[in-house]
Amino acid sequence: MMPQTFSSTEFHLDFLLLRKSSHFAMLEDFLSAIIAQIKISRFFNSIPFKWNLKTRRLIEDTNKLYNFNYKIGRFVHATYATFMATSFTHMWLTSDTKGGISVDQILSIGWICCHCGSGILSAGVAHKMDQLLRLINSFLEFEEKLCEDVSERTKGHWVIKLLCYLGCAASLGMPTFICLMIAFHPCLPPMVGYSLLDCATIADPASASFWLRNPLLVFNILTWYNAFGMAYFLMFPAFYLPMICLKEYLRTLQQVTLRQFDKGKITTDAATRATIITIYRRMQILELKFNSCYQTVFLPTTLLACMLSAMTSLFVAIRLHDAVPIAGMGFFCLKLSILFVLFVFVFGFGGKIHTGSEEMLAKWRQVEGLATHKDFRRAVWSFRSLKVKYGDYGFIDKLTPLVLNAFVVGLTVNLLLIVE
């Protein structure tokens, strides 16, 4: 008996049915979480773009007053980050500790990683704003073309949506913890109050001059909320969701094609094979756009800042939990949980993009009868596996989360030994 031949229409319907039955993760399914993060970030002038309800696209904000406030925020952010780095360097050089690291120095590393890291990300977004807009809009356009026949949208997987709303909560919660700590302890180094307030002569720094302490608190509130609004917009809606969607595109395409390759034989018509080739090529375009946005500035900066932040947070939770105020412990614990999610889930999904595409291409190349379909054979052998790159040569694979966690734990253990 001849094997059944699948048409391109059946392939398209199979793709759609699998998408609906498996809670297929698509960017459109998580628009509520994306829009919520955009509103939070725009409230603190953290991002230079907005959501257009009519076109359902992310667009550049042309409001002159908003853009002026955004540029002022960037300037203040960069100035404060430079000030903190200078203050930390001065504190390090004038420290009396010999052969060890003080508590203030360790805490300062955590603050500087957050503020300087988000400042570098903000500068990277300003430099590649057009590419970032095109990236997110390209995913939306890809989904509209792929699922134009879907009349009922899926709700999106609840775990993924929970992680997105966790980013929204963290963009508000982490600066809130910092500002509460500064309100009661304004002399924390390397904050601006550490240099401007005479902390050495004031018995209770919280009782310092109202006209000096409260303006400093307002300044910290504005700068820290601005910094975290940008960082978490980039980390979750702009980076995490497109990456997990690309992983799900691959998974669904692999399942559909394996269903239609009957017992390792090609049983599809020419139109279906052309559709498969077109979909994978579009995924390659999405991968190129994704890497052009993130591989040079975002990922190297994020990896370095996240590892140092995770090291300081874990150290504080183990060694300094008695010396840090309650608000400070809330900040470090929340940051540690966010970094755990980032290492395990986000970079884990990035590794699955590489391994999943390699496995799919390997199975395609082993299909019986591939030599008789020249166009499909040439396309399959010309395809390369998809990679989430950082820098010029590195990319995220399935072992990256384990390597990052092992590196952070090793740094923390060494730091504990040095301090002891």
Number of C-alpha atoms within 13 angstroms, CB side, residue 78?
11
Long-range contacts of 59-68 (CB under 8 A, 24+ apart): 59/133, 60/129, 60/130, 60/133, 66/42
Instruction: Decide if 15 is inside a domain.
Output: no
H-type alpha helices, 94-209: 103-127, 129-146, 158-184, 192-196
Measured CA to CA, the distance from residue 143 to residue 153 in angstroms comes to 11
- Give the helix/strand (H/E) hosting 75: helix 64-93
Question: pLDDT per residue over 331-374, tens digit each?
Answer: 888 888 888 888 888 888 888 899 989 988 888 888 777 777 78
DSSP 3-state of 201? coil
Instruction: Decide if 12 is inside a domain.
Output: no
Instruction: Decide if 354 is inside a domain.
Output: yes
Other C-beta atoms lying within 10 Å of the C-beta of residue 133? 18
Measured CA to CA, the distance from residue 24 to residue 283 in angstroms comes to 16
Predicted confidence band of residue 15 (pLDDT cuts 50, 70, 90): low
- Give the helix/strand (H/E) hosting 394: strand 394-395
Range of the domain at 225: 28-419
How many folded domains does the chain comprise?
Answer: 1
Q: Does residue 100 surpass a pLDDT of 60? A: no
**What residues contact residue 204 under an 8 Å CB cut-off, 6+ apart?**
none
- Taking a C-beta distance cutoff of 8 angstroms, is the pair 354, 386 a contact? yes
- Taking a C-beta distance cutoff of 8 angstroms, is the pair 414, 105 a contact? no
Question: pLDDT per residue over 246-275, tens digit each?
Answer: 888 888 888 777 766 655 566 566 777 787
The residue-averaged pLDDT of 35-52 equals 89
Other C-beta atoms lying within 10 Å of the C-beta of residue 7? 14
Tell how strand 394-395 and strand 389-390 pair up: antiparallel
The residue-averaged pLDDT of 186-198 equals 71
Structure tokens at 119: 């400042």
Measured CA to CA, the distance from residue 260 to residue 76 in angstroms comes to 57
> What backbone torsions phi and psi does residue 265 show, to the nearest 5 degrees?
-115, 145
Instruction: Decide if 20 is inside a domain.
Output: no
Measured CA to CA, the distance from residue 49 to residue 132 in angstroms comes to 10
Predicted confidence band of residue 312 (pLDDT cuts 50, 70, 90): confident
| Among the listed residues 8, 3, 13, the one whose alpha carbon sits nearest the alpha carbon of residue 267 | 3
Structure tokens at 77: 């952010």
Measured CA to CA, the distance from residue 224 to residue 363 in angstroms comes to 49
> What backbone torsions phi and psi does residue 345 show, to the nearest 5 degrees?
-85, -55
Q: Label residues 196-216 b or e (16+ Cβ within 10 Å = b).
A: ebebeeeeebeebeeeebeeb
Instruction: Decide if 251 is inside a domain.
Output: yes
Q: Does residue 84 surpass a pLDDT of 80? A: yes
| Among the listed residues 119, 46, 110, 108, the one whose alpha carbon sits nearest the alpha carbon of residue 339 | 110
Instruction: Decide if 19 is inside a domain.
Output: no
Instruction: Decide if 16 is inside a domain.
Output: no
Residue 296 CB burial class (10 angstroms; 0-12, 13-18, ≥19): middle
| Among the listed residues 209, 234, 222, the one whose alpha carbon sits nearest the alpha carbon of residue 179 | 222
| Among the listed residues 107, 30, 129, the one whose alpha carbon sits nearest the alpha carbon of residue 327 | 107
The residue-averaged pLDDT of 62-88 equals 87
Predicted confidence at residue 65, as pLDDT, reads 92
Specify the higher pLDDT residue, 353 or 110.
353
